[in-house]
Amino acid sequence: MFKTRTVMFCLVLLTASLVLTACGPSAEQIRARDEARAAALAAEARIQSLMNEYETLNREIPEKEALISDLEAELAELQAEYQALGGTTR
């Protein structure tokens, strides 16, 4: 009787472990999930990088536009000075 119960218990335990293994994700599914997770993390990092670059450009563009205006004004002054000194225009 004890032997029969032990054998039945082992069979039930084996059956339960086989069912749980069969119901779980396969190695291919786990690999696909991990690859998808890695791709999502890479995409999030790229998004953050692009957002940082966008913020930097939003700061730098007005500064560069102001520099262009200053340089254009300086160019006009230098051209006027050149003309006053008898230079010819191109």
Q: Mean pLDDT, to the nearest integer, of 43-53?
A: 97
**% of the chain surpassing 90 pLDDT:** 61
Q: Give the distance, in angstroms, between the CA of residue 48 and the centroid of all CA atoms in the same chain.
A: 6
Pairwise CA distance, residues 51 & 45, whole Å: 10
| Span 17-36, pLDDT tens digits | 777 777 777 888 889 999 99
